[in-house]
Chains A and B, each alone.
Chain A
């Protein structure tokens, strides 16, 4: 076996020549009429090398976390590389404005290794052929999923520390007609923004957007919402019924690491929703449970 993902991660100097040779061979195959253009071949090979570097595989050893790429079988990893090369080669051919018929021939040529047309036999996931094919589709998904809207609501509520910014966003939501989302926020913060003048809101809007952007893309916020949800779901009443408890492993379920759960718990502590000091059993009162529920729920 010339090289594996493991080799590229842990022994780059030895495995890189084999990677380049493989990518070059595949690039020449898929570039068709451009196969003898050294620049084009290098461009395709270089693109894949760059992608593997950006994905923090090449030479990263144990310094970067392993990903799904590391867990692919050897054959799957080669399939990944092969498809990446093919896509980039087709992209280059399109950029060079080769006739469509030539591209179709190349598609057929590429399939000879795979027996079947990958494009015609895509795995049908719940999401259809390709989930979120555009940023617009991703936005629509985020806006229409209750739990993701809950994250958005949580981040908007975080603006209450700067009432003018909250007011600016509430005005935007009013104009959008985002009824459900607005209604709950408005009920909670009506008094806070009631007496604020509604002029010069545009500069506050820009600041508010920046904060929202940061909040929505912050792992700790999202983990906190997920952990809050699980605390209320999995929490068991203790004997005196005034207290609930759940251990960290239960919160991990099957998809979170211990570190992720701890990050989420720490965020909840920082929000004043929980008293937790690193214990393996997380305990919270019924009052805290209510607050935790409010933390993630929408449409209370």
Chain B
């Protein structure tokens, strides 16, 4: 028997407000009114949160839910912006229901089996798919944080940088280059959202833009890159990051001599011969272990000019990381996900 039956003959007082409620819902609707039975997952939309992730409201859900569970009569007033948001956002409302149910389980007396003893799990035993996934999530979260900061005129750079650092660090445990590539796919896009990270208007476009030819911890064998890399002057078998310029097909390498990272470029155009180059590593400010030559990874001046054969070998900076260590190699490779060169006039 429902409430109406119990109070037969008496109008439900809530009906008085029904038209206003319907109008309010119409006013607040921010997404097409197609309820989703399941939250859009990162696996469904190619690794991005999408427009229906409203981070400011999402993070309030546990506190709101707990206030409701604690019978806080002021809950809806205290969380009024969130309540109004939930009226119009089916995605956040679905998340609210999910979190409410899960939080309710925390206040029900009962037993839950907790993992006992010391954990023996490590990155090496964790599904690589889950590692890739976490990296993508962290990068997407960093993007969200930076966009929100831009919108609200606040500084979230340290937060976003920390998320990207963790993504890079975690990706270094992936030994398969294709998986690392997938994990860090959006890294450069996210890094360009930092204040001052974008190419200043007065800076000329890059003459060449290099990306790493992903390798398995510097042991890549055979193939064109390897053959061409042999042209570049460094000892055979030395741990190396191989670079390739997408448009021009030019190649280069990064090697290490003690603490110093060295860039080797070949086949540079005639117009660059005799010129010093400005080298930009856009992700260089994200990881701190490299002390860049000149201090600014966005503008590293080559120590020598490009020679008459189109070759350049120059130091980039110093680091305690070791290219010979597989995880350090992967970290550095992520750092050089983009490397631009332009002539210094």
A contact set with B: CB distance below 8 Å: 1-3, 12-13, 16-18, 20-22, 24, 42-43, 45-47, 49-51, 53-56, 58-61, 63-65, 67-69, 72, 74-84, 87, 91, 95, 113-116, 118, 121-123, 125-127, 130-136, 138-145, 147-148, 151-152, 172-173, 176-178, 181, 209, 212-213, 216-219, 221-222, 226, 255-256
The 7 A-B residue pairs with the shortest CB-CB distance, nearest first, are A63-B159, A83-B105, A17-B121, A2-B119, A76-B106, A143-B21, A68-B62
- The listed residue (B71, B104, B106) touching A126 by CB distance below 8 A is B71
Asked if B68 is an interface residue, CB under 8 A from chain A, the answer is: yes
Most A C-beta atoms less than 10 A away, residue of B16, B70, B106: B106
Report whether B87 and A138 are in contact in the complex, using a CB–CB cutoff of 8 Å. Answer: yes
Complex Cα distance, B11 from A242, in Å, reads 47
Asked if B197 is an interface residue, CB under 8 A from chain A, the answer is: no
Complex Cα distance, B119 from A152, in Å, reads 52
Report whether A122 and B104 are in contact in the complex, using a CB–CB cutoff of 8 Å. Answer: yes
Closest residue on chain B to residue A61 by CB atoms: B162
Report whether A138 and B55 are in contact in the complex, using a CB–CB cutoff of 8 Å. Answer: no
- The listed residue (A54, A118, A213) touching B105 by CB distance below 8 A is A118
Bitwise interface map of B from 74 to 88 toward A, beta carbon under 8 Å scored 1, else 0: 101110110111111
Asked if B179 is an interface residue, CB under 8 A from chain A, the answer is: no
Complex Cα distance, B249 from A186, in Å, reads 71
Contacts of B99 in A (CB 8 A): 51, 55
Report whether A80 and B111 are in contact in the complex, using a CB–CB cutoff of 8 Å. Answer: no
- The listed residue (A2, A63, A116, A118) touching B162 by CB distance below 8 A is A63
Complex Cα distance, B57 from A218, in Å, reads 11
Report whether A216 and B115 are in contact in the complex, using a CB–CB cutoff of 8 Å. Answer: no
B contact set with A: CB distance below 8 Å: 13-14, 16-28, 30, 37-39, 41-43, 49, 53, 55, 57-63, 65-66, 68-74, 76-78, 80-81, 83-88, 90, 93, 95-108, 110-115, 117-119, 121-123, 125-127, 129-130, 133-134, 137-138, 141, 145, 156, 158-159, 162-163, 166, 169-170
Complex Cα distance, B78 from A104, in Å, reads 39
Complex Cα distance, B107 from A148, in Å, reads 28
Closest residue on chain B to residue A22 by CB atoms: B115
Report whether B98 and A126 are in contact in the complex, using a CB–CB cutoff of 8 Å. Answer: no
Pull 11 A–B residue pairs with CB atoms less than 8 Å apart, ordered by A.
Answer: A1-B114, A20-B130, A45-B130, A51-B95, A64-B59, A83-B102, A121-B108, A144-B21, A148-B76, A178-B20, A212-B28
The answer to whether residues A123 and B107 also contact, given A132-B96, A139-B24 and a CB cut-off of 8 A, is yes
Complex Cα distance, B166 from A182, in Å, reads 54
Complex Cα distance, B74 from A46, in Å, reads 35
Contacts of B129 in A (CB 8 A): 42
Report whether B38 and A79 are in contact in the complex, using a CB–CB cutoff of 8 Å. Answer: no
Report whether B166 and A59 are in contact in the complex, using a CB–CB cutoff of 8 Å. Answer: yes
Report whether A216 and B28 are in contact in the complex, using a CB–CB cutoff of 8 Å. Answer: yes
CB of A56, distance to nearest CB on chain B (Å): 5
Contacts of B123 in A (CB 8 A): 13, 16-17
CB of B61, distance to nearest CB on chain A (Å): 7
Contacts of B69 in A (CB 8 A): 123, 125
Report whether B55 and A140 are in contact in the complex, using a CB–CB cutoff of 8 Å. Answer: no
Q: A67-B59, A138-B87 are in contact. List 9 more A-B contacts (CB 8 A).
A: A45-B130, A51-B99, A68-B103, A91-B38, A135-B86, A140-B14, A140-B17, A142-B24, A152-B24
The answer to whether residues A54 and B76 also contact, given A118-B104, A135-B86, A139-B25 and a CB cut-off of 8 A, is no
Report whether B112 and A79 are in contact in the complex, using a CB–CB cutoff of 8 Å. Answer: yes
CB of B318, distance to nearest CB on chain A (Å): 25
The answer to whether residues A118 and B130 also contact, given A16-B170, A59-B162, A142-B84 and a CB cut-off of 8 A, is no
Report whether B63 and A78 are in contact in the complex, using a CB–CB cutoff of 8 Å. Answer: no
Report whether B59 and A65 are in contact in the complex, using a CB–CB cutoff of 8 Å. Answer: yes
Report whether B113 and A181 are in contact in the complex, using a CB–CB cutoff of 8 Å. Answer: no
Report whether A59 and B163 are in contact in the complex, using a CB–CB cutoff of 8 Å. Answer: yes
Report whether A20 and B127 are in contact in the complex, using a CB–CB cutoff of 8 Å. Answer: yes
Closest residue on chain A to residue B68 by CB atoms: A131
The answer to whether residues A145 and B76 also contact, given A18-B121, A217-B81 and a CB cut-off of 8 A, is yes
Contacts of B138 in A (CB 8 A): 53, 58-59
Most A C-beta atoms less than 10 A away, residue of B37, B57, B88: B88
Closest residue on chain B to residue A120 by CB atoms: B108
Contacts of A143 in B (CB 8 A): 17-18, 20-21, 24
Complex Cα distance, B24 from A214, in Å, reads 13
Report whether A55 and B83 are in contact in the complex, using a CB–CB cutoff of 8 Å. Answer: no
Complex Cα distance, B122 from A77, in Å, reads 21
Complex Cα distance, B122 from A140, in Å, reads 49
Closest residue on chain B to residue A176 by CB atoms: B19
Report whether B93 and A138 are in contact in the complex, using a CB–CB cutoff of 8 Å. Answer: yes
Complex Cα distance, B58 from A93, in Å, reads 26
Report whether A114 and B110 are in contact in the complex, using a CB–CB cutoff of 8 Å. Answer: yes
CB of B134, distance to nearest CB on chain A (Å): 6
Contacts of A2 in B (CB 8 A): 115, 117-119, 121
Report whether B77 and A148 are in contact in the complex, using a CB–CB cutoff of 8 Å. Answer: yes
